A and B are shown apart, each in its own frame.
Chain A
């Protein structure tokens, strides 16, 4: 990516932060909070997600057969099923239906698939008046804007902005002001437009092959009117919406609203088996009793392939087809919460899973536009009702984008980047992907390397060449690495005297930069009678993986395993300080290592506070650590790490600190915004700070502003220090018997 492109990107993000950021933030945070509350009430939440996943897996597996079954049922019911290869094919068919019905107006309920087709434009070209009846979609149609969210398309607009828009466009007798007034105005106006419509077009959240029914999840009631008022109903849906039977709908009905906007259930879940028995509502014949009508309803189900069948054959993109478009992955995403779908989205889709959809239906270029905004924080993974590994899809597509174009080949960087990647990888990605090599070099040449990187001209150069934002302080390398230090010092608890033996994994950051937290970890473990070893081991592969350099990460995984395998065989526990590296061991390594190796490492590795918790539970003497009731012991403002939370490990840190009598307040933001290299990148620096502000706000309240800032992740520590200009430490540094932090 060139300097210009980076600057344009930064400019666009800045603009969205200023114009839409506030409304997007308020709404997505509301949805996200609602989700947490709503799923907490659901007794069988995990089992329901498993069931939902199973149904989708099975349906996609059997898709061709289900489509044929559906065709038969729809035809038996008296409707037509048209399987469209692509958008043009679908639009042609829909235009024909409109033409045969001499349609002057088509009313629509909300459908992302219809946005994918751009069917409105196609119909309008034939002179058909197309009206969106979902209030949010209608606002956008009036404003001529694109949706910023897949479920709540107009969340980037405030009440006041909509009022201004309507007052300008429609010039009502009394200017509109409140949401209530705006809604009633829209209801009336749209009601008239629906009454006169010739064709109603809906999407479908699910389609059941056994009955030919479509399920529509709505709140307003416009989809109900759209489907039954006119005599012709066209439903458009991706082929992936087909499930085998009506009974399969139950888990989705319970999950979709909760996961998306945090409602237990939306007002209306329509289960229509068209052509429906309901009478056509013909307001031109106001006195004809419904019961006396003899309607001949028409129903067309237009199923769209548009790349989906190819996605089904793609081992990595296939999971995307399980997506039920609930929007949880958007609402839970810290970056999305700041900029919304106009930045975090492609031609049609937005949010975490949009990369999969865009790459599949519109092609990689559309995905490339925003794919970088996924930082791999993984908070969406537990939120997704069908358990899609969304960050993995983002990583795979990033890897493919890296490989796609020739790109620059820089021979200086090539020397610095002993990776497994082809020459085309973007220079900036390559630099961060090879952070380990840089850290090694920086450490070997410290303190000179640190002085150099503080120099203005050097920062300017770094910004120009590789896009490291000059406003972001760079971490200082330590001359003596953790491994060196420990080699000199040696263990203080011998294996013979020890209750347990630990290999402390020297992650890149702890080894070269924050050596102090490594030393603290050693002292804490030894205070609890553990024999510690620190082998020399390569980086986990997190850094290259987050740049989409999958082969390099894969190769690192093998080397890490090789360096730890013997220890695991000897019954030693692997303890990891950096949560993002532990997350590699526990999650991503499943894709890189043979199954049994992965299992062994996963079962044999622990996050440092998780391990301390286990030791204390098993009778280790807590008094040998620094406790919270001692003199000058600090009160704590704690920020857990995104991936640590996804692994459900944050509770151990909290439990240990509280058991040791510390007063702890914990943040509840999804991510600090730094996310490894993300916050260093020139084009994303401001977004990163905006995301961080939500965290900073929580740590500058009267209850938190005097507390010691504690964070489990490296990135989070750096980000908090930058944001708050206060020192931030790892929890293990608090517990260190030698700790002076207060």
Chain B
């Protein structure tokens, strides 16, 4: 049987979104491989994981304009679709995940769910609590100019960094 992680990875492959699995310890190094400088990001709400010093973590409109990569946290991943759920935050996760050419979504493996109904069930209380989020699947795209083009108003490229649960550094289904 394919695991949720494998399904998620396959879906991302179909979307041409590279995904890297890493441990909290190796996070900085992994991020370094998928982020092109200059990098701007919003705080990651994950224990034991934080943005490295070379990421501008106090985003401003100016930083948005000059950054090549934006790094934000995903609260959920949806295996069936290869989607990541990106919550809006006062620190600007929405614009940081939207303006730069490349978006890197950081997701904990434990936050992966199998399907859309489960994701929406988890989102229900958040939205009722006033929260907002975007379910993002692959890069921004348009076919309005006569052929499919990536990067219409949003990122041209998306990368996913999947953080394995600490005690399960080798990956696999816990």
Contact = CB atoms under 8 A, between A and B. Distances in A.
A213 B120 CA distance: 13
B127 interface: yes
Nearest to A213: B127
Nearest to A274: B132
B63 to A, nearest CB: 8
Interface stretch (A182-190, A571-579, A607-615): A182-190
Contacts of B92: 278-279, 281, 290-291
Contacts of A247: 117, 120-121, 124
Interface centre among A182, A190, A229, A277 (most CB of B within 10 A): A277
A179 B117 contact: no
A146 to B, nearest CB: 15
Contact of B142 (A220, A291, A293): A220
Contacts of A250: 116-117, 120-121
Contact of A152 (B89, B144, B147): B144
B10 interface: no
A77 B146 CA distance: 41
Contacts of A10: none
Nearest to B158: A267
B128 A219 contact: no
Contacts of A182: 145-146
B145 to A, nearest CB: 4
B115 to A, nearest CB: 9
Interface string B91-115: 1111100100000000000000000
B140 A159 contact: no
B34 interface: no
A281 B64 contact: yes
A245 B124 contact: yes
A249 interface: yes
Interface string A150-187: 00101001111010000000000000001110111011
Contact of B94 (A134, A179, A266, A278): A278
B142 A219 contact: yes
Nearest to B131: A273
A220 B153 contact: yes
Interface size class for chain B?
35 or more
Interface string A284-310: 011111110100000000000000000
Nearest to B78: A265
B61 A283 contact: yes
B130 A219 contact: no
A186 B88 CA distance: 26
B83 to A, nearest CB: 7
Contacts of A264: 81
A225 to B, nearest CB: 6
Contact of A246 (B62, B90, B120): B120
A279 B152 contact: no
Contact of B153 (A133, A253, A270, A277): A133
Contacts of A180: 145, 147, 149
A122 interface: no
Contacts of B139: 267
B77 interface: no
A210 interface: yes
A253 B135 contact: yes
A268 B145 contact: no
Contact of B130 (A77, A134, A178, A267): A77
Nearest to B147: A179
Contacts of B127: 208, 211, 213, 246, 271, 273
Contacts of B144: 134-136, 139, 152, 154, 183, 220
B58 interface: yes
Contact of B146 (A157, A228, A286): A157
B128 A246 contact: yes
Interface in A186-241: 186-187, 190-191, 208, 210-211, 213, 219-222, 224-225, 228-229
A276 B147 CA distance: 33
A179 B145 contact: yes
Interface string A241-273: 000011101100110000001001111111111
A191 B98 CA distance: 12
Interface of A: 77, 133-136, 139, 152, 154, 157-160, 162, 178-180, 182-184, 186-187, 190-191, 208, 210-211, 213, 219-222, 224-225, 228-229, 245-247, 249-250, 253-254, 261, 264-274, 276-279, 281-283, 285-291, 293
- Kindly list the 6 A-B residue pairs having the minimum CB-CB distance in the complex, ordered from nearest: A159-B146, A221-B154, A286-B62, A290-B92, A220-B152, A136-B144
12 contacts: A133-B153, A135-B142, A183-B144, A183-B149, A190-B153, A211-B127, A219-B141, A219-B152, A224-B134, A271-B133, A277-B131, A281-B95
